[in-house]
Every structure is written in structure tokens, then in C-alpha cells.
Chain A
């Protein structure tokens, strides 16, 4: 894994990734070519800088969060190299994260692109400190990222508090993943968090 990866993708790797994520071989090939084009250092893995070199991602308000999600997703495999624990993401991890965005097909069960996994990914956008819950300050921070100067600080605080109030069913001052799912239960996550290319 990791640095041991050659630039060519092994058939066995493709197979295992296929089994893992449900991508087709050709999709994996294309993702791999994208991966290598992002991998400026030819190290077989991507750093945060590699990601942020994508211009639009760098200016994306959630760019940092998205990149972070790539690194923070596979803690187990990242543990392989302790000194760079979450500084690198290899192709397998890369594909695994992207697998969240495959459109859901009715007859094709896959745990990675299920509704819950999609929501979990969205949840990570808010969960800045990775503690599995969203606090008011985290909501506020996300709001800061999202909105421009149209809304005053006071109003943002009010909105954040109101959001907490609505979502925080058990009144413990934080939104758990469960509460998050409850609020978003009618959002069409399946469509909104799917990418046609990955179909």
C-alpha cells in the first residue's frame, strides 16, 4: 500500500477496490488517472497540499473540510505509517471516500454509498473537531464559511442557536449524528449527494 504502489494499477488491486466500493473497472482506471495527475510528487499518495492545488477546491468555502474528510476517513489504514498518520491518502482511501458519492442503485447494495454513509459524510463537514457531535460553535463556524456578508454576526449567532434548538432533541447542547439524520430525513440526499460520473 501507500508508497509501495507502483504507478500502474494491479489487477488484484482493481478487483479488491471493486469489491470494496462497487466501482466498475473503467471508473477505477479513470479515477486512478485523476489520482496520479493530482499526485505531483509521484509518491503514490496525496497530501493536503496536493488537494489544495486544485484551484476551485482551494477557494471552495468547504475546501478544507472536504480535504480533511479524505484524510480522516480511513484512520485504520492511515495508522500504517504512524509518523504521517493523517498526512497522506493513498489511492484506495481516495476511492473509498469517493465511493460515498456513487448514485444509489436499487438492486445494488453497498455500504459505502448508502444514505447513512452519505449523511455521515455531510455530518463531517460540520463536525470540526471530529468528536461525533456538532456544537453551536461548529454550526456557527460552518455558517461563517457558507454565507457572505449578507448576514450580520448577531443574526448568524441567532441562526446557529435556532438551528441547535431545532435539531438538539435531547437538549444536551450538541447535535448527534442521530439527530442530524432525523432533521434531514426528507432531504433528497440520494440525489444531491451523488455524482453522475460515478454512476
Chain B
């Protein structure tokens, strides 16, 4: 892209943007405009003056135009530059929009006249849009960046001046027109449709590609990337080996290729790519793309394990990163000056700026990779916390070094000041983050009745924390991390479950989108940019990055180990070093280097090389390496109540033991902090009815189990029936029936369920039924589903009039036709009554239900013992809530199914009753005897196949 004739071109094109204002403001005749432009063109000879104008232009336009115009989305203007208005008088009434009916737009009309006249010229095929491309934001002026293209008519107006013969080949233009616009709006002028649009008059149909093109492209790409991710994760063999960042880079490259080839190789000078090729600017990156990524990571940092490792994380993130940056910087500089990497001149400052940006470890890549691998949470939070805080440090360092670099002379005082500034920036950021975090908590304390504002408050204050820190020149990233952590601690207890879900998924989505967009830019830059390949420099950068990280990790780990209770093992140290993937942040920082930076192209290329190497090579190999080094993995089991209880018990216990020893230790400090937190902060910042985490976990487990109970029995019956039909060929061989049933039962309890209806709770089902009940199930299944062996309990019993296969089919059909199941298989869970998803409602229903059952049980008591008695006394019509379903079930099933199975279906209720009795100190044994009569001899377990848990077994149908 950057070639020798570029400077001239650029200068001319740069001009293109400035007269936008002139034209708009002048509102005179085309001739007048042309003269004004010509004046400008004359100035072109004087390079400096043009530069100045360009530099200054956005300032004036910012005031008038940018805010309103859809075409100026993001603009970063050097605030220090005084606006000039003499050269470009500003028309206050400049229309904000291309309102075709607006007579005020006359000036535009004139422009089109201009274009029309230009079209007659022999050079008419030259794109009037040409100038736009020529303002690659960061090349105009270091401080002037345009994310999106300036008004294209600005360029169009300039076209008369731009039609310099021979400067462009017409061939570049044509194909893109076709891409951009469907053939119906065709003209020789590639941008004709655009001008059409603005001619006065009412149009029934028109194309507004220029205004929406960029958004269209980005959205299309994000959606495309989403689809790509879907496919990627469906191909589990791939996604389990390759990190997602790889996919994003590949997609970005594809996008880059598309734009590259569609947009014309020669610097996309046509309408199409000029508009659709979005710009990557500092403003867009720091104000829009980065915050969601950081915030999402900050929320997931809120974990006990992170705070346990906080000291180590800080050491690695602050000192490790600083050492890393200086080591790489100094080494590169040394190698360059000693000629170790070929022909390259590098000042120390330059290499330090580069090394600071290349030290930024990407939290997103790390997060996804280590989540996928599932390493133990200690290591996970170490790596993840380090990579996140490291970003804050790197950005601060980078900004500081960039500032230092601009200074002509650097004194010793400056060095001292920059060290002070470093800590001020970090600590200032933390304080602002803390402030806004607490503000969120306060705010949400009063939102009990207006839940809708909760997500807004949480996300808004977090963003405000970031912005405010940036206003004061503190570190926005640090501020955002602290704000996120504070919110997770104090604001989350205040907001409703739904608001929490909203925040969680919104930020997740925003973060994924940001990441996708950044990688899209990365891919496009990879294809587009004219790379300055310098083998020596790039290879050395790669090597140094790797060596520095390994070295510094191995150096710092023993130091932190000295203060840690469980030292970081050597394997974990290696993983920590190896997991230093570079990504979006490093790329963004290098891309944002000022354009006059001498080695910018080289640095971009080197950064891309490092990113590609770390993401592809290290990212793919880190998984096998973790396995090879036998790093402890995270248990996949869900959290259990006893663990939660035990966590508290152990903390309290350890605080007590430290008291006994009489030393102030971690546990004591933690206990003290916790006491202060509970006593004051939680009281001040959260609503009084805050919930204990234990209770939350309990509710979560209970609701999952509830769903499991809802669907579990049907699934098990279904499975059992399938197993029965499978085992039919073995019907003559009693032993093998048992065997196959046993097998199928094992399948059920080990969670191998692959039944459609089970799709969303499959995991939770097996999770809670787990292996603990396999033994029970197996025995009960054997006795109840193999009638031949326990035939004494049923009249139809063994053999009977029906084959097993028929039984199975009938039962299966009955279950599937059962109205309840129909409801739940076909309904969208999200559309069900919200009450049904609320824990307390379920609990209330359960309580009601338990009362009914108790009454039934009392009746059963009166009616006397005996199994048949029990079953019959259990009237279907009394079944809570859904009597007709129960009747359905009985009608469909009872005639055709071996009684064995029916007994099982009924014992679910028995189980509930038993549980109720147990609570009221009625001895279980007596109840069992009442209901089964010969319980001592009958081996049927009181905890039957069909009820998963005693407590909630009765919810099977309710």
C-alpha cells in the first residue's frame, strides 16, 4: 500500500477531506466552490500548509458536523490544536443529514452538478471517492483518527481536482460497484447511486450504502463469526485442540482477503471498499472495543481463589510485566545497535515502546484456552488474573513511553516522574473504580421496584468508571477491573436474578463481539498492510518474548513461593510462562502507534508475527503440555453443598486455630476482614435481605434437581423400556437380562442420556443422580423390571399376555402422549409462566403438596396395611395439580403395563410420604412395613427406581 508515489497521492487526497466544509459552508455556486477548492489545491504545493489544514480540519468539523452526521462516527481530535476557522468558515446551519427534501441542502445539489460535469470529462471513471481512502486516519496526523469514512460527498466535491490523468486506473473501480450495489442502480459513475439519492425529490426506493455500509460490514462479519464459532464448537475435535482466537484470526484473514480482492489491490480507491473498510482507531479501540472485554474478565475474576492468589498475581502482573518490557526492550536495542539483527537502526526509546506493547498478554485468549483445558482454579486465576492486570500495566507503560518518546530531551527528573506517574495512574484508577463500584451498590440498593434500571446501572457505572479514569489520565483498565470486582461483591447481591443474567450475558456478548471485531481488523491488517519484513528483528522478537517470559516467571515464582502456602510447582510455572499469549491488546497498541513513527510497519509485522506464533503454536500446544506436565486439573463435578458448608467451616476453624497459636495469619486477617465486611460494608451497600451464598447454592441445586425430577422419571422409564426391548433376545436367559439391564441402568446414571427431551437438563440430571444412586437403582431395577424373578408381587407378572417389547412400546407411547410431557417437550421454556421458574413458588407448591400427601398417608394408615391397599388408596384424583394427567397416565398405562412398573410409578408417591413422615419423626421402618407389608422379605428398595430423591419425588408429575 505504501509505495514511492504515495506521498504525492496522499497529499492530494488529504486535501479531499478539508474542502468538505468549504463546500458545505460556502453554499455558493459550483463555480465558487471550484475556485475555493482550487485555492486549496494550490496550497497542495506547500506540503506543510496542507498538513496543517488537515490536522486542523477535524477540529472545526467536530463542532459542527461530527456530532450529527452519521458519517462521522468517531473522531479523535488533538485538543491542543486550536481550531481554525478563517480558512474554513463554518456554516452553523450545516444540515446534519442528507435530507433530500431539505432546501437547505442546495449546496449538495450543486455538488452533484459538479459531478455531472466531471462525468463528462475523460477521467470520469476515476472514483470520486478516491480521496477518502487516502486519509488513513493515522496517517494524516498522529492525533487525528477517523474510524469511519468522512462524508463521501466531501470527496465527491473534490473530484474535479482529483481527476489527475494517469493517477489511477479506471479498472479498479468497476468491479466494486457491482459488489456494492445490486445492478439496478447502475451508472458509469461508480458512486452514482449515492448522488442520485441526494438529488431533490422524493424517492420511493433508494440505496444508502454509504451511510450504512460500515455498520453493515461489521455486523455481517460479527454474525458470520458467530456462525463460524457455532460450527467450530460443533466440531469438538477441533475446538478441543485449537483455541478460539485461531478461528477468529482465520475468519479475519478471510474477511481481509475479501475486502482486499473485492476492494481492488491498489489501495481500495473505489467506493465500495472506501466505505466498507472500517478504520481502526485509538478512539474506537479504547472507548468502545476494549471496555467490554476488560469488564467481562473482571466479573469472572470475582472468586475466592483469585483473592487467595492476589499477592502473587500482583507481583507477576506489575513487576513481571515491567521486567518483561524492559528486558525485551533493552535486548532488542542492544542487538540492533550491535548489528545482531541485520540492517536496522533502533533507538532505545523506540524499542522500549515496542517492548511495552508486546508484553501485553491477552486475557481473552488465555481465558478461553484455560477454560477449555480446565486446569485447577489456582493456576487458572493466576494466569488469568495476571494477563488481565498485565493489560492495565502495559497500557500505562505504553502511554508513558510514547509520551517520553515525544520529548526531545529526557532528564533524570523525567524518569523519576514517570515512575511516580506510573503508580499515580494505577492507584488513581483503582480509587475511581472503587468509587464507582460502590456507587453502583448504593444505586442498586434502591432499585427494588424498578428492576429495569439495574443492568443499566451496573454496566453504565462500570463504563463511567472507565471513562472517568481516562478523563483524569488514570488507568481506565485498572479502574474498570476494580469497579467490576466491587460491583460483583456489593452490587450483585442487590440486583434481581434476571438483572444479573442480563448483565452477565450482555457483557459476555459485548466482549465476544469486541474481540471478534478486533480480530477482524487484525486479519484485515494481516492481508492489507504492506509488511516490512525484517527477519532478524522478527525472529529476535519472537525469541526474546518467549525467553523473557519463561525467565521472569521462573525468577519470580520462587520469590512468591516463599510467601505462599502451596508453592507454585515447576510444572505450573512453565504453564504460566507458556500461557502468555499475545492478542488483541498488543495488536491494537501497535496499530495505534503514530504514523510518523519510523518503524511502525516493522513493528506491526513483528507484533502480528508474535500474535500468530503465540496463538497458533503456543495456544494449540499448551493443552498437550498441561497433560504432559500432569498439572492438576479442575474437577468437573458440580459444587456440592457439603463443600460449600465445609468452606465456611474450615475458614472459621482455621481462624480459631490461628487464635490458639496466637499469630496473625491469613485466616485471621480474612476472618477479620469478613467480619468488617459483613458488619459494615454489606450493611451499607447492599439491601438488608442479602442472601447467604449457601442458600443460593442450595436453591440452584434444588431447582436443577426439580427439573431433573420433572423429566427424570420419564427418561428413566423410557430408557428402561428401551433396555427391555433391547434385552428381549435374551429373554430366555435370566442372567443376561440382568446384565443388560444393569448396563443400561449404568448408562442412565452416568449421564449418557441422549434423548431429545433431555437436551437441556441432561447434564444436570446425571449430575445429581450421579454414581451415588447407581447401586440402588440397579438393585431396584433388577427386582422390579424383571418380573420373572419377583413375579410373586404381581398377578400378571412373569410372562403374562404381552411380550416385553410390546410393554415397552406401550409404556413409551403412553409417556410421550401424556399431556404433561407434551406440554414440556413442545413449549419454549422461556415462554412458560415466570412463576414456574421461581424457586419460592416451587417450594410453596411442594409444601402444599406434602400436606396433601400427609393426609393421604393418614387415610392409608386407616385403611390398613398391604401393598395393594396402599396403591389403591392412593387416588389419582387426589394428585395435586394435575389429576387429569395422572388419570391419563393410568388410563394409558395401567391396562397394558405389567403391574411391576405401575407399582414403581406409584411408589414415587410413597416415597414423598415417607419423606414427610421422616420429617415428623415417624419412623421410616414402620411406614415401609405399612406400605409393603412384607418389607423384611421383599427386597424392593424403599427408594425406588422412579424417584430420584425422597424429598422431591412427588414432584414427578406436579
Chain A residues within CB distance 8 Å of chain B: 31, 34, 37-38, 51, 54, 56-57, 60-63, 65-66, 70, 98, 101, 103-104, 121-122, 125-126, 139, 142-143, 146-148, 150-151, 155, 157-159, 161-163, 165-171, 175, 180, 183-199
Contact = CB atoms under 8 A, between A and B. Distances in A.
A62 B656 contact: yes
Contacts of A148: 692
A162 B702 contact: yes
B649 A195 contact: no
Contacts of A162: 641, 698, 701-702, 951
Given A159-B694, A193-B653, 11 more contacts: A54-B662, A125-B653, A146-B645, A150-B695, A158-B698, A171-B943, A183-B643, A184-B643, A187-B647, A190-B565, A195-B657
10 contacts: A37-B662, A54-B659, A60-B656, A98-B660, A147-B648, A150-B692, A151-B694, A162-B698, A187-B643, A195-B667
A197 B665 contact: yes
A143 B692 CA distance: 12
Given A147-B692, A191-B566, A195-B654, A166 B663 contact: no
Contact of B692 (A151, A187, A191): A151
Contacts of B661: 31, 34, 98, 195, 197-198
B937 interface: no
B652 A163 contact: no
B566 A193 contact: no
A169 B943 CA distance: 13
Contacts of A163: 640-642, 645
A62 B653 contact: yes
Contacts of A169: 771-772
A54 B660 contact: yes
B759 to A, nearest CB: 25
B666 interface: yes
B605 interface: no
B695 A125 contact: no
Contacts of A143: 645, 694
Contacts of A147: 648, 692, 694
Contacts of A186: 634-635, 637, 643
Most buried by B among A121, A148, A162, A171: A162
B656 A185 contact: no
Contacts of B308: 191
B930 interface: no
A150 B691 contact: yes
A155 B649 contact: no
Contacts of A62: 649, 652-653, 656
Nearest to B655: A60
Contacts of B642: 163, 166-167, 175, 180, 183-184
Contacts of B701: 162
Contacts of B219: none
Contacts of A65: 653
B646 interface: yes
Most buried by A among B634, B642, B648: B642
3 closest pairs, A vs B, by CB?
A186-B635, A191-B566, A66-B656
B695 A146 contact: no
A155 B655 CA distance: 27
Contacts of B565: 103, 190-191, 194, 196, 199
Nearest to B648: A146
B689 to A, nearest CB: 8
Interface string B564-599: 011000000000000000000000000000000000
Contacts of A54: 659-660, 662
B198 to A, nearest CB: 65
Nearest to B697: A159
Contacts of A121: 653
B245 interface: no
Contact of B645 (A57, A139, A190, A197): A139
A139 B648 CA distance: 13
Contact of A56 (B643, B659, B772): B659
A121 B653 CA distance: 10
Contact of A193 (B635, B637, B654, B702): B654
B641 A195 contact: no
Contacts of A166: 640-642, 772
A122 B648 CA distance: 11
Given A122-B649, A150-B695, A190 B662 contact: no
A114 B951 CA distance: 37
Contacts of B690: 150
B861 interface: no
A61 B943 CA distance: 36
Contacts of B665: 195-197
Nearest to B663: A197
Contacts of A70: 660
B775 to A, nearest CB: 8
Contacts of A159: 641, 645, 694-695, 698
Contacts of A171: 776, 943
Given A162-B951, A195-B667, A196-B565, A187 B646 contact: yes
Contact of A57 (B660, B666, B694, B950): B660
Nearest to A61: B652
Contacts of B653: 62, 65-66, 121-122, 125, 193
Contacts of A195: 654, 657-658, 661, 663, 665, 667
Contacts of B429: none
Nearest to B668: A56
A101 B658 CA distance: 10
A188 to B, nearest CB: 7
B909 interface: no
A197 B690 CA distance: 35
A66 B695 contact: no
Given A142-B649, A150-B691, A191-B565, A161 B656 contact: no
A165 B949 contact: yes
A146 B647 CA distance: 11
A108 to B, nearest CB: 13
B184 to A, nearest CB: 64
A165 B951 contact: yes
Nearest to B657: A101
